[in-house]
Amino acid sequence: MKLRLKDFAKYIAFSGDLRRYQKMPRAEKISWRDLYPCPRERTSTTAFDTHYFYQNIWAFCKIHASGAPAHVDVGSKVDYVGFLSTIMQVTFIDIRPLVTDLPDLASKAGSILEMPYPSDSIPSLSCLHVAEHIGLGRYGDPLDPLGTVKACRELKRVLAPGGNLYFGLPIGRPRVCFNAHRIHSPDQILEYFSGLKLLEFSLVDDAGHFRQNIEPAHGRDLKYGCGLFQFTK
């Protein structure tokens, strides 16, 4: 955890709380080895990552409403695919296979650049906050300036005719924040998925607000938004 200057005041408050707690009647003996300060938890509201919170709910609701009996996800958050597996059979694709005890969550080793599926074969597919990392070496993957382009091309290849692709990544003014991620304009993503039909565009804006079913142009001037695209073939 990176230490920030404003955390020092919270660490001082933690020390004060510890001293007061230890003086209380029936307080347990606390070893210094067991100290676990959480200085960033004392907030006036419950904090959450707006990108992942809204995109996971957006995708979950859409997949559930589609009536699909099974779903394939590529590299998204594991809690999202875990929850999704409570309502349907889910297969998770990642270069690092996911090992769980959930009966309806299967895992296959595979790369978003070389999916272990034939063309036109997946009726329900998602990839959320993944493609922006490809080719930047963040996860030990080979460097490739066309990493996101190739990832989109592969998702388009395996999507079945009439199927749905739920896709999310950072949007706004295009740039590379090496080696964490890329930020794309909505227009770039529409170009990468040319040949597919856009059914819905939603976004999380710079202020963290969720805006559903709007025009892609609303995402062009953001600094670091989250674009959510539902495509069909």
**Of 102 and 4, more confident:** 102
**Of 5 and 13, more confident:** 13
- Percent of the chain past pLDDT 90, that is, above it, reads 88
Instruction: Give the model's pLDDT for residue 4.
Output: 62
- The mean pLDDT of 178-190, rounded to a whole number, is 98
pLDDT-based confidence at residue 2 (cuts at 50, 70, 90): low
- Find the helix or strand (DSSP H, E) in which 148 lies: helix 147-158
Residue ranges of the chain that CATH labels 3.40.50.150: 50-232
Statement: the pTM of the whole predicted model exceeds 0.85: yes
d(CA 134, CA 137): 7
pLDDT in tens, 7-66: 777 788 889 999 999 999 999 999 999 999 988 888 899 999 999 999 999 999 999 999
d(CA 118, CA 131): 20
39: left (phi over 0), alpha (psi -120 to 50) or beta: alpha
Radius of gyration of the chain (CA): 21
- The mean pLDDT of 216-220, rounded to a whole number, is 98
Please tell me whether residue 199 adopts helix, strand or coil conformation.
Answer: strand
d(CA 91, CA 107): 5
How would CATH label the architecture of 50-232? 3-Layer(aba) Sandwich (3.40)
pLDDT at 215 over 60: yes
